[in-house]
Amino acid sequence: MKIADCYRLLGLNDGASYDDIKVAYRRLARRYHPDVNPGSKRAEETFIQLTEAYHKLVDVVQPSVIKARRRTRSAESTQSQNGQASGKPASRSSIRKRPTVRRDPDTSQTDHQLKQQSYEQLHQLLREQRYPRAIALVEGLAQRLPQDSEIRQWQAIAYQRWGKHLIDEKQYDKARIYLQKALRTDPRNRALWLEVEHDMRRIDGVEIL
């Protein structure tokens, strides 16, 4: 996405300040957020585009300030994770830590056992970088348990990890597709957004060179 398109999406003129960008994004994000528009694919797509545009403009307008803030948050998050017990929602890092699989009270014992076994398989496949197989596994599980938000997190993580690997393989167009699928699968996962944002910047950086 070009910088000019980012300004256009947020309804701003070129050269808008950081505060203007933040205000415009918050106003539009509230309007198009998936929680406000349940079931609307168009609103979800717009929300994803707005968020991508916002982060890109922020990096352009105040790169040093934003990067410093992110480093601080990252350090604080690392310290917090090291000093606290597990139990947070699954993310890319928590997949590696192998947290206890959450039990949905409405899920049968058979389905819960299937979920537990699938999680163990998924962990192994990601560790071995067998990403297409990991995606097939978690997509099948998501079809069986479509209301399970934890499984959607795993599915989004698998898409993001595959997208990241595709960048390393210089398959940039395909990587972008899977990174976008990750955002659509779990649009409320802030940690995932940061991961995908970093991956997208890698693609943009290569395409500029």
DSSP 115: H
Got the DSSP string for 94-125? HHHH-PPPPPPTTS-HHHHHHHHHHHHHHHHH
**Using CA atoms in the order 38, 39, 44, 46, what is the torsion angle rounded to 10 degrees?**
-100
Residue type for position 203: I
Q: In degrees, to the nearest 5, what angle opens at C-alpha 75 toward C-alphas 119 and 26?
A: 80
- Mention the CATH class of domain 1-84: mainly alpha
Which residues of the chain are in CATH 1.10.287.110 domains?
A: 1-84
Q: What is the pLDDT along the chain (209 residues), one digit of tens a residue?
A: 788 888 888 998 887 888 888 888 888 888 888 777 888 888 888 888 888 888 788 777 765 444 555 555 555 555 555 554 444 444 444 444 445 677 777 778 888 888 888 999 999 999 999 999 999 999 998 998 888 889 999 999 999 999 999 999 999 999 999 999 999 999 888 888 888 988 988 887 754 33
What pLDDT score was predicted for residue 29? Answer: 83
The pTM score is 0.55
Q: What is the identity of the amino acid at 188?
A: R
Cα 24 to chain center, whole Å? 22
